[in-house]
Amino acid sequence: MARRTALLFATLALGAVVGTGSSLSYNEEVLPSTLNPLYASSMSDHRSQELVFDRLYFHDAINNDLKSRVVQKFEMVDDGRGVKLTLVPGIKWHDGKPLTAKDVCFTVDAMLDPKTASPVAEGYRAVLAGCEAQGSQVAKIKFTQVFHNPLERLGFAVLPEAGFTSTAIAPDLEFAAHPIGTGPFKGSKGRRAVTFDVFANTHHAPTIAQLRLNDAGDPQLQVRSIINNGSQGIIAVPPLLRPELSASDDVALKTYDLRSWWFVAVNTNKGPLKDKRVRQALNVSLDRSELRKLAIGTIAGDQTSPCEFISGPFVQASPYYNRAVPVTERSDVKKAEALLTSAGLTKVGGNWSSNGQPVQLNIGILAPLNNEAEDLLSQIGNQLSAVGFGRQDQKINEDEWNRRVKAGQANEYDLVVGKWSFGVGDDVNDLFHTRAGREGKLNIFNYSNAQVDAILKEYDAARTDKAAQDAYHKLHATLAEELPYLFLWKLDTRSAWRAEVRNNLISPYYYFTEIDGWKYGR
Amino acid sequence: MSRPSCSPPHGSAARRSALSHRWLGLALGLASLLPLVGCGGADEVAPPVEVVAAPAALPADLVSAAWPVRLAADAPRAPFEAHPGWGLLFSRKLDEALPAFAAAPALPVGLARVHLDIAAVYRNAALLGANATRHVYGTDRLPQDPPQVDFLMADALAVLGDCAGAKAKLEALAPQGELSARAAALSAWSAGPACPADLSVFSTAPFATLTEAPTPGLSPTVPVAAPYRFALPDGASDLEGAELGLLVELARWHEAAARAAVPDAGGIIDLHVAPSLLPGEARAAVGEAPVLSDEWLFGSFHMSGADVAFAAAARGDGLAAVEAWKGRSLYAAALAPAVQGGKLVPELVLDQAAAMSRALRDGMGAAAGGPQDFHRMFADVAVVGLLRAGALVADAAGEPRDAGILRVNAFERSAGPSSDPVFLLGLAAWDAGNRSPVRAQEIIHLQLPRFPALGAARYPLDALHLRLGRTAAPSAPVH
């Protein structure tokens, strides 16, 4: 308690220091791992980078119009295989140098450079074929094929040529902490916070002088801090704390359109978990209804809950969700026991053993998720313990999650709890394809299944939307049987901002796209 | 510099309502589950804020005439707590409210209100489906789409009131089988005088699917119709679509049931229907403000009969309606100071909404002898109602983005009794019109259990999502 109080005062004091001019302080889920847009790996990264950089094209947060702040006009060329972009004159980088067509082409070239080991760039390699600067203001971008919506494909952030020594861009350069962009704010990443200072430019006119991003920390403290105006925003408010904020006239809860779903990834290459029946037993050992009640606060039958169970790798509202696959809502211990017994496990003294060894599950969770869904790690552990599994719980920090878990190198874990967030696309191939070359880049436990790989290829090769939908319906059904993941739920994200923060339109996914219009006033 | 504000613990300072009936008590009971808000005692210093102009005061007579104020005290509200239909309507459980109002003693006005809301839900769903279709098989059409999507386009354009567009699509089509009769009917209608104002084409053969006559208190049986299936060039699968006319037919059925419930209230019903009419549908002229009984108003997103009339007028007249109604309608009075430079300024509308909320809560407190927990819920309904009215004005004034800002803000405040399926479907339709399917899909998904026929709008919306998702800028899952 004393520690909490001390932390509270520290947080409030920080707010006092920051609160000069029109400065706003807000709490992120985690500190961004990088401010280099090529290496964005978390939603915090994407949101932060949106403050510092301009994407060539973006969608209006309100009417979804495709817009650009840096392109004055465009012209399709080469029978639709290229586009000539004329830049808005007078735009400056944060170091004062002018934005030119060479910067646009440098960005394209950097993404096309195979030595740029960026997952973001890799996606663009299927779209972009090259770029040619024609004078200082015109860039001609070439596409790999004719697209019916070419400008929609140009959603990348523009990088400064002068900020790099070559087009082979590494993730760990100084640029990642102190980037140079053309966005509304100049960002600087420290160890405990990131500051964004307004930068005067021809194409941005924000009225807020400074934003300070703080690591999330204790959610209770965040709530106290925003109510007392020690900070002005919280990006993701845990569901259990939302009623407290919605009762306040001084704080407004804001919807953040982000399709997110939660899972428990299962290490299918380890011990008894190699056996599908054991994974199925784990699946029916979880009482999701109870977990949701304890961690999210949802009462059974609440149709307005922000949290909805899923049985596969899509949210239920998605057309890719296979509605014929039922969700597993309640636990079924008898079924779990039958499955474990059929898999050759034995129960001794209330504990399951495999080949004479007690089954001990090493369970990890991406740390901030344990705040968003309060104490979810313990709740899952408790349920599995009650069925007869030994368990060890660990919180995984963001760095380790990005560096090891996503890279398929955290083999010491048997289960990890995480979530994935999506924009308008629902492509899950990287999560489940066998890791090989460019495939399976986010396959957490290097799950490999030839049948699944074939379905994913089917999706990739689909010529029609219906064929793609059919492939993913098949994938959903297969994964619900194979269970490389135990699928939990989708959970809506809500932000909270002080009422004095006005005009604060929140863009889907990128969040701060409309930051220029935000005001701080009463 | 002022000390930071500190909210009082919710529900502790406020007087508990002496509510006799359980439905409002239940709603309040849920509210009382909120954890108490602690108030830090630190001397933190808030950032200085830009002081903007204070919202204009609202006419006291209009505030005190608003139903939340008039029904704030227990006695006048008691009749509404005695009948379960009102609780269900207030909770926006329209499918459950219908049989509740039909049960003896039936309440005709309650029935009419529910039927009208359901009619608006279906009209908005038809609009949603038409908007999604217009994009996916229009602006985003691909060569591999089968030619029969022209029929889906014609259907959508008919719903949108584009007679010439619908006719042109049908002329390019050589339909066969079931489609042939429907295309012929739609073609004749689109070339005739009934288009676009009269959508009864969807309530007659070969489109009509409902067999029961409109009857207050009933929900018609909707036959499970097989979707349209058009062979795709890969030969392995079919493109699926649904007949949007079903949604129009349902809307018209429920509107007719509402009229049958209260046969002498045609003018009032015309006003209620006006904001959600489809783009080409005939609109009745708006006359004087109706004098409405509390049965027409309790729990409504309109504070008075004048607000009902103002909303109907705003749909067509925009800013002129604000000017014309500001002396009679609380909403128009609240919006009037937000009109600056010849347009409605969303930021000022939000200020006015906050001011109206305070004024209503003060008024309710005075009427009830002190603040009660449900006063906030009533005020929240009013705020959402005002923002929706503002969106109508901005749309009519040719400011669709500002209308969107107001819609999004109304959506942010849509929780509990403020969460209205009529508005949500309207928002979803607007999103679909903007080629933005994600939020619309969530809305449809959440409303489907109560309105299964909404599935008809889901086909084009899903098709839009699939198409946009597969052709979007590259992105990978993150977290």
DSSP per-residue string spanning A209-249: -EEEEE----HHHHHHHHHTTS-SEESS--GGGHHHHHT-T
- Residues 423-482 on A with a CB inside 8 Å of B are 423-428, 430-431, 441-442, 463-470
Q: Give the β-pairing of A233-234 and A23-27.
A: parallel
Could you tell me where the DSSP H helices lie in A117-209? 119-125
Angle in degrees, 0-180, between the axes of helices B346-368 and B400-412, rounded to the nearest 10? 40
- Model confidence at B52, pLDDT cuts 50, 70, 90, reads low
Contact by Cβ (8 Å): A142, A81: yes
Domains of chain A: 2-232+500-520 (3.40.190.10), 259-493 (3.10.105.10)
CA atoms within 13 A on the CB side of B37: 29
Neighbours of A74 (CB within 10 A): 17
Q: Do B240 and A466 touch (CB under 8 A)?
A: yes
Contacts of A412 (CB under 8 A, 6+ apart): A362
Q: Give the pLDDT score at B389.
A: 98
Chain centroid offset of residue A245 CA: 24
In eight-state DSSP terms, residue A90 is T
CA dist., res. A98 & res. A89, Å (int) = 9
- Model confidence at B295, pLDDT cuts 50, 70, 90, reads very high
Contacts of A422 in chain B (CB under 8 A): 475, 477
- Give the mutation candidate from A465, A474, A509 for the B interface (greatest B CB count, under 10 A): A465
CA-nearest of A453, A433, A454 to A445 is: A433
Q: Give the pLDDT score at A502.
A: 92
Q: Please check whether residue B400 touches A, CB under 8 A.
A: yes
Among A13, A41, A318, beta carbon nearest to B478: A41
Q: Give the pLDDT score at B53.
A: 63
CA dist., res. B225 & res. A49, Å (int) = 48
Which residue of chain B has the CA closest to A305?
B446
Please check the confidence at residue B215 and state whether its pLDDT lies above 90.
yes
Q: Give the pLDDT score at B234.
A: 80
- SS3 call for A446: coil
Q: Within chain A, what is the greatest distance between any pair of CA atoms?
A: 78
Among A13, A62, A469, beta carbon nearest to B408: A62
Q: Please check whether residue A227 touches B, CB under 8 A.
A: yes
Q: Which residue has the tokens 């969770």?
A: A365
Q: Give the pLDDT score at B24.
A: 60
Q: Please check whether residue A292 touches B, CB under 8 A.
A: no
Which residue of chain A has the CA closest to B443?
A317
Q: Please check whether residue B471 touches A, CB under 8 A.
A: yes
Q: Do B42 and A441 touch (CB under 8 A)?
A: no
Q: Give the pLDDT score at B272.
A: 97
In eight-state DSSP terms, residue A195 is E
Segment B264-282 mean pLDDT: 97
Segment B205-217 mean pLDDT: 96
Q: Which residue has the tokens 């209804």?
A: A289
- For chain A, give percent helix, strand, coil, nearest 5: 35, 25, 40
Q: Do B465 and A318 touch (CB under 8 A)?
A: yes
Segment B330-356 mean pLDDT: 96
CA dist., res. A143 & res. A152, Å (int) = 12
Q: Which two tokens stand for residue A63?
A: 């009417």
Chain B closest-CA separation from residue A339 CA (Å): 32
Contact by Cβ (8 Å): B379, B300: no
Q: Do A16 and B45 touch (CB under 8 A)?
A: yes
Q: Please check whether residue A154 touches B, CB under 8 A.
A: yes
Among A255, A468, A470, beta carbon nearest to B412: A255
Which residue of chain A has the CA closest to B437?
A424
Please check the confidence at residue B51 and state whether its pLDDT lies above 80.
no
Q: Do B473 and A156 touch (CB under 8 A)?
A: yes
CA dist., res. B445 & res. B430, Å (int) = 16
Q: Give the pLDDT score at A83.
A: 98
Q: Please check whether residue B213 touches A, CB under 8 A.
A: no
- Model confidence at B235, pLDDT cuts 50, 70, 90, reads confident
Among the ranges given (B167-171, B367-371, B467-471), the one the predictor scored with the smallest mean pLDDT = B467-471
Please check the confidence at residue B352 and state whether its pLDDT lies above 60.
yes
Q: Give the pLDDT score at A15.
A: 39
Please check the confidence at residue B437 and state whether its pLDDT lies above 70.
yes
Residue A369: φ, ψ to 5°: -70, -25
**Which helix or strand (DSSP H or E) is residue B61 part of?**
helix B60-65
In eight-state DSSP terms, residue B136 is I
Size of interface A-B (CB pairs under 8 A): 238
Q: Give the pLDDT score at B38.
A: 32
**Which helix or strand (DSSP H or E) is residue B343 part of?**
strand B343-344
Contact by Cβ (8 Å): B376, B365: no
Segment B134-161 mean pLDDT: 95
> How far is the CA of A36 from the CAs of A46, A51, A421, in angstroms?
9, 12, 19
Q: Please check whether residue A522 touches B, CB under 8 A.
A: yes
Q: Give the pLDDT score at B31.
A: 38
Q: Do A465 and B445 touch (CB under 8 A)?
A: no
Residue A72: φ, ψ to 5°: -80, -45
Could you tell me where the DSSP H helices lie in A299-348? 333-342
Q: Which residue has the tokens 């309060």?
A: A374
- Give the mutation candidate from B6, B39, B44 for the A interface (greatest A CB count, under 10 A): B44
Q: What is the pTM of this model?
A: 0.92
Chain A closest-CA separation from residue B478 CA (Å): 5
Q: Which residue has the tokens 């006063």?
A: B375
Q: Give the pLDDT score at A416.
A: 98
Contacts of B404 in chain A (CB under 8 A): 62-63
Chain centroid offset of residue B475 CA: 33
- Give the mutation candidate from A141, A464, A504 for the B interface (greatest B CB count, under 10 A): A464
Q: Do A418 and B479 touch (CB under 8 A)?
A: yes
- Residues 153-172 on B with a CB inside 8 Å of A are none
**Read out DSSP for B223-260?**
--PPPEEEE-TTSS-EEEE--THHHHHHHHHHHHHHHH
Q: Which residues pair with A417 in a beta bridge?
A: A264, A365
Query: Does the bond joining B206 to the residue before it have cis omega, within 30 degrees of 0?
Result: yes
Q: Do B477 and A246 touch (CB under 8 A)?
A: no
Segment B136-146 mean pLDDT: 93
Q: Give the pLDDT score at B327.
A: 97
Q: Give the pLDDT score at A22.
A: 85
Contact by Cβ (8 Å): B130, B157: yes
Contacts of B446 in chain A (CB under 8 A): 303-304
Sign, CA dihedral A107-A108-A113-A117, equals positive
- Give the mutation candidate from B10, B232, B451, B479 for the A interface (greatest A CB count, under 10 A): B479
Please check the confidence at residue B14 and state whether its pLDDT lies above 80.
no
Segment B325-350 mean pLDDT: 97
Q: Do B44 and A420 touch (CB under 8 A)?
A: no
CA dist., res. B158 & res. B198, Å (int) = 10
Q: Which two tokens stand for residue A118?
A: 């960026």
Q: Do A521 and B35 touch (CB under 8 A)?
A: no
| A228/B40: higher pLDDT | A228
Q: What is the mean pLDDT of each run of 10 residues along chain A (522 residues)?
A: 43 39 89 95 95 97 96 97 98 98 98 95 94 98 94 96 97 94 97 95 95 90 95 96 91 92 98 98 97 89 83 97 97 98 96 96 96 96 97 95 95 98 91 94 97 97 94 98 98 95 93 95 72
CA dist., res. A506 & res. A258, Å (int) = 11
Contacts of A65 in chain B (CB under 8 A): 434
Contacts of A426 in chain B (CB under 8 A): 469
Chain B closest-CA separation from residue A71 CA (Å): 17
- Model confidence at B11, pLDDT cuts 50, 70, 90, reads very low
